[in-house]
Structure 1
């Protein structure tokens, strides 16, 4: 879970990442509307893409997410039993290595992903020791080429899972896969993966497996590929209001709102003469007499060094650009003679409502994707939560949760 304690939104801070949980809840509702016949998994891996796993998980569940997804079992175990996460919310984790905490996952009633025989053997043994069946989801490699069982090995894995289920050691709760190019509508791999997924699911079901959910849709597929929705959609980056494919639409085009705003207080504003070198290597020299501002954020906080000389910042209502190299803890902006007071807010990115840059703007400046921009913001930057609702308990919590988290399976 996040190592950063929540702070009041008015606290004077060197820097802050403001997390708008009301925006996150609205994004969940929008995504559910895009896939009305499927349950929704809120993917909260890597501290909810840098936003804070527990608080984002609570907000997503309150807005109707019936599943939570993580990469590592440790992330999933931290959520199971956490305050504000109802026991009936399913939690799935998919990135396992030999010797992982299988027994703890079985005892915590997590859904665990299995892509090969070694993993099935380890989870089966863990279930035997725990004295209860493991909830297992078999992952098919339909073309991404990362994790997942190859089609040629699928029959053996399905048969072994069926035998373990017959022994009462596992319950095969899901069959799933992951797209390689869903963010490129029309890419031939998308249709090919869908065909392969349907074939592999059909084979498993003919062999006697009866999963609760079948799923392949990630954020871009949830937004643009209805035929991929099946029983469950897994939404990651879209949950946080960032477009998974800027080429096909902005967050506003999809009805989404960015959740994180990253800002800092200017540490210094000073006048310098023309020809003054700025930051390491003097990659920037002032063209004339001007003012420089020091922004107390750097690559140790997750600001990408690759955006040196290109990263945008809003200061005093004007877009500025990083001057020279981004250092470990700070960078400089040429203000062109303007003189805001020290402590003035510098906004690196946010929803864009005030004319500030967005995470996508920083992604373009750094030659990367917006996923990386928000995920890399480190724990030295406090998360300040706004729009948070009180944690509800018991019957009150159940009454607040929207119906329809587990729709009937559909072909």
Structure 2
């Protein structure tokens, strides 16, 4: 009996985990696309693990295409780039947990300072000259030092000479995504005023930077000495005015297929009922892997060269798609998004289906999704 049971066992082959493949050639092409529109230096912003694409891979591709600076959220991200062998200047400007001034100086990391109190703290903590970019609030009330506080900020900077070195002035554009230079005029004026105040205080030369991707692509008046490209290097133009190249492809496997009659409920709550006899494919990826649970009508994936719509609710680990007359065997590859266009959905389409922005689609791809570079 034991031998008979052993002979009747069925072994299911393991399927590859969902895969996000980063495409360095696309990153390089996007950097070159920005380069043709500006004389400013380019900073490749690789925070949030390179917008979900892998900070080191994106940084290397961007630097290879001509980016001269790298931008990160905190010193830990900068140290990881240094340990990977990247030697370009790095700026860390958010620093939500504070700044280890000694570590920043040891690894050659510039720090942005957005308040008088932050600068005072760095002056106390620094044991060797720390390169600092003064961060201006250009009208967002989100980060940066208001222009009215700059006299005190510069007084502290003068007192801290020898411990901090003022090398830059930066800000953000509150309305750059509109793609209308008129919306940026107030921020550009504030930036010029802040720059001039720093120069009058005896600091310089300065690296002045205000524009991120949208400003870099749509408004030369915002470029100053350097433009910071984050979303743009992975193919996202927030202004939706320039066609960039998607830098990743997200795939997963069909884990189950079936044919069902009309009137079959799909997924939790049976929120979708089939209207005809049709094929279904279960894809082994869900909201834990970055598929937005709130997707609306039109959401689809590519299988076999055609789009197939999602039906029913997105689960933590699975989605179901309607494959019509086709049945795809277990192990067939489904493409969630990619740069190919045609039947392959784009990141921008997923953002529209989910009522969000493309940045959230690429940055919330889950940790169990394997990463590779092609």
Classify the TM-score, shorter chain: over 0.9
Q: Which residue of the partner structure matches residue 214 of structure 2?
A: 220
- C-alpha deviation, 1:96, in angstroms: 2.4
Residue-by-residue CA offset, 1:363-391 (whole Å, 9 max, x unaligned): 000000111111111221111211xxxxx
Classify the secondary structure of the residue corresponding to 1:159: helix
User: TM-score, structure 1 length as denominator?
Assistant: 0.84
What RMSD over aligned residues (CA atoms) do the two structures have, in Å? 1.7
Are 2:166 and 1:172 aligned? yes
Match of 1:323 among 308, 311, 314: 311
Tell me if structure 1 keeps the 8 A contact 2:17–2:370: no
Q: Which residue of the partner structure matches residue 5 of structure 2?
A: none
Q: Which residue of the partner structure matches residue 9 of structure 2?
A: none
Are 2:204 and 1:210 aligned? yes
- C-alpha deviation, 1:64, in angstroms: 1.3
- C-alpha deviation, 1:353, in angstroms: 3.8
Q: Which residue of the partner structure matches residue 400 of structure 1?
A: none
Are 2:247 and 1:259 aligned? yes
Q: How many residues in Structure 1 have an aligned counterpart in Structure 2?
A: 361
Q: Which residue of the partner structure matches residue 93 of structure 1?
A: 92
Q: Which residue of the partner structure matches residue 71 of structure 1?
A: 73
Q: Which residue of the partner structure matches residue 296 of structure 1?
A: 284
Match of 2:61 among 51, 59, 62: 59
CA separation in 1, counterparts of 2:173 and 2:320? 40
Are 2:264 and 1:284 aligned? no
Q: Which residue of the partner structure matches residue 143 of structure 1?
A: 139
Relative to structure 1, is the Cα distance of residues 71 and 99 closer, same or farther in structure 2, using a 3 angstrom cutoff? closer
Match of 2:332 among 344, 361, 365: 344
Q: Which runs of 4+ in 1 moved over 4 A?
A: none
Q: Which residue of the partner structure matches residue 17 of structure 2?
A: 14
- C-alpha deviation, 1:189, in angstroms: 3.9
User: TM-score, structure 2 length as denominator?
Assistant: 0.92
Q: Which residue of the partner structure matches residue 124 of structure 1?
A: 123
Are 2:196 and 1:196 aligned? no
Q: Which residue of the partner structure matches residue 30 of structure 2?
A: 27
Which structure exhibits the higher relative contact order, with contacts defined as CA atoms closer than 8 Å and separated by 6 or more residues?
A: 1
CA separation in 2, counterparts of 1:338 and 1:217? 48
- C-alpha deviation, 1:187, in angstroms: 6.5
CA separation in 1, counterparts of 2:359 and 2:98? 30
Match of 1:152 among 143, 148, 151: 148
- C-alpha deviation, 1:235, in angstroms: 0.4
- C-alpha deviation, 1:99, in angstroms: 4.7
For structure 1, the residue ranges without an aligned partner over 5 or more in a row are 1-10, 387-411
Q: Which residue of the partner structure matches residue 354 of structure 2?
A: 366
Tell me if structure 2 keeps the 8 A contact 1:98–1:119: no
Classify the secondary structure of the residue corresponding to 1:153: helix
Classify the secondary structure of the residue corresponding to 2:83: coil
Relative to structure 1, is the Cα distance of residues 324 and 153 closer, same or farther in structure 2, using a 3 angstrom cutoff? same
- C-alpha deviation, 1:101, in angstroms: 2.1
- C-alpha deviation, 1:107, in angstroms: 1.6
